């Protein structure tokens, strides 16, 4: 039996925290280890509780979710951040993703979607729909387009690693990559780790950005 996924809830609305807690704690593989009502509390709680996943609201008084996400991803790399937002075109959420979040989830997400997102972020998958990925890249603007001549970060990838990289760029999860390339999920996970290391990518979302910047996926 594997250890339960440890989740920290961060939202300035108590009812939302309570609702998410009720949903998540009904799952046998998830445990809510604490909650916080602003970014400063979130950073302190992460330092103390070492959660696997931080469910992070972005619009909060005081230290907002963007600043908190940037601090947490820099200081506590073992804690992954899943951003909560009210609107799927929220530039605040895009800012949090750029700061290192593993994806974002709408606050009105269904029970299954919430639980699936927490599990996905915990295992290292990015939680971004194709529509959101497109909007995120548009939000980043010209910095995602083109690359310097002779500067190909994919040059050191093996053929199989390149296949995995392109699949990451398409937004596929490890399970979907395994099915597409006829590989075991553990093998895919190993390849993903090597791809991120060779690309110098912090996470899968940064790998998606690199793939789009290089024009390798549409």
How is the chain split among helix, strand and coil, in percent rounded to 5? 50, 15, 35
Domain ranges of the chain: 5-130, 145-213
pTM: predicted TM-score of the whole model, two decimal places:
0.76
CATH of domain 5-130: 3.40.50.2300
- pLDDT for 129-141, tens place per residue? 656 666 666 666 5
More confident residue, 1 or 54: 54
Segment among 124-128, 170-174, 176-180 with least mean pLDDT? 124-128
Edge-to-edge strand ranges of the sheet holding 104-106 = 30-36, 5-10, 53-57, 80-85, 104-106
More confident residue, 150 or 177: 177
CATH class of 145-213: mainly alpha
- Residue 157 to residue 163: CA distance in whole angstroms: 9
9: part of which helix (H) or strand (E)?
strand 5-10
pLDDT of 145 over the 70 cut: no
pLDDT band at 126 (very low <50, low <70, confident <90, very high): confident
């Amino acid at each position: 039996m594997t250890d339960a996924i440890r989740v920290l809830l961060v939202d300035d609305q108590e009812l939302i925290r309570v609702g998410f807690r009720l949903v998540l704690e009904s799952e046998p593989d998830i445990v809510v280890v604490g909650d916080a009502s602003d970014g400063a509390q979130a950073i302190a709680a992460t330092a103390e509780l070492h959660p696997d996943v931080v469910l992070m609201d972005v619009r909060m008084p005081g230290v907002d979710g963007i600043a908190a996400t940037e601090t947490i991803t820099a200081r506590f790399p073992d804690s992954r951040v899943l951003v909560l937002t009210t609107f799927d075109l929220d530039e605040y959420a895009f800012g949090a993703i750029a700061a290192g979040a593993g994806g974002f989830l709408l606050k009105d997400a269904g029970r299954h979607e919430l639980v699936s997102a927490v599990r996905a972020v915990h295992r290292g998958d990015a939680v971004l729909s194709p529509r959101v990925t497109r909007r995120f890249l548009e939000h980043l603007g010209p910095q995602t387009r083109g690359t310097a001549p002779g500067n190909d970060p994919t040059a050191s990838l093996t053929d199989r690693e390149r296949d995995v990289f392109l699949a990451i760029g398409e937004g596929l999860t490890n399970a979907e990559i395994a099915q597409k390339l006829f590989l075991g999920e553990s093998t895919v996970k190993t390849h993903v780790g090597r791809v991120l290391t060779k690309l110098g990518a912090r996470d899968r979302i940064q790998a998606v950005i690199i793939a789009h910047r290089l024009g390798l996926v549409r």
